[in-house]
Structure 1
Amino acid sequence: MSLKGPIISIEDDPDDQFMIEHTIRKLGVANPIRFFGNGQEALDYLESTTEQPFLMLCDINMPIMNGIELRQRINQSEYLSRKAIPFVYLTTTASEESVNAAYAAMVQGFYEKAPSASAFQDQLKLIIDYWQNCLHPNRYIHFV
């Protein structure tokens, strides 16, 4: 994790992408934001980039590769596991089954998207503040 690294958002809905970016900017967070429409696009990026992302926010239901499959593939990769990028689900799919599957895949957080803009802003602020203040083994390590 790099405090200045990009925030990765894996979200297939353009309206939700807009809302995420707008809210993060409104919070004054300067980190670049990288959007991917499905887990496979995000995985391809993560396997090829030298960037050390700050945080990943991931939806669950997406085409090609869903959020649970993405997390499982990250866990299976020695390179990506070692990066230890904080991985948080931010989704409308908050069933007992999806929460259990997420934590079985060793996710660091699971949030159901808040129903209003102000509640969503509070939710993202909480997530970002937590990871900005959390001590992390890769905080100062840069991977190549």
Structure 2
Amino acid sequence: MATQSTILLVEDNPDDERLAVRALRRAKITAEILIARNGEEALTTLFNANCLPIVMLLDLKLPKIDGLDVLKAVRANEKTRLLPVVILTSSSEERDIIASYDLGANSYVRKPIEFDRFTEAVGQLAIYWTGINEPINPER
């Protein structure tokens, strides 16, 4: 069940999932971490949630429904349209960056290949979205 102190990580690569969760814990993020391993799971989780997560970290290259289509569906739905979405992907393709921002992504972060840089990037993202950013009131 999502709560306002939840992070939704949408990641199909088990290694990247483990690294991201480890990075979140290393950054002392206490938020619950929900995992969706494909786009369909992500949308089901969001659309069935009583309370939306504080942020969604979304990979682009996903099975079933790709990340750009997930983002499009999130922005088209009244319940989820204002949910902060951070694209966290290995793609540095200019067309993916442009499409992500065109569809309403709040941020686009390319996954660093090096372990230390990856954990630092994910940790900083989580600190920002869970501790610095002012979230939308969940009662909206």
| Unaligned 5+ runs, structure 1 | none
Identity %: 23
Task: Answer yes or no: is the 8 Å Cα contact 1:58–1:67 preserved in 2.
Answer: yes
Structure-1 residue corresponding to 2:7: 7
- CA distance in 2 between counterparts of 1:114 and 1:11 reads 15
* Aligned residues between the structures: 138
Taking the TM superposition and a 5 Å limit, the aligned residue runs for 1:97-116 are: 97-116=95-114
Q: Deviations over 1:38-85 (max 9, x none)?
A: 11111011111112311110110111101100000011111211xx22
- CA distance in 2 between counterparts of 1:141 and 1:59 reads 24
Deviating above 3 A after TM superposition, structure 1's stretches of 4 or more consecutive aligned residues are: none
Structure-1 residue corresponding to 2:134: 135
- CA distance in 1 between counterparts of 2:120 and 2:58 reads 17
Task: Answer yes or no: is the 8 Å Cα contact 1:8–1:56 preserved in 2.
Answer: yes
- CA distance in 2 between counterparts of 1:62 and 1:43 reads 12
- CA distance in 1 between counterparts of 2:121 and 2:3 reads 19
AA partner of residue 16 (structure 1): D
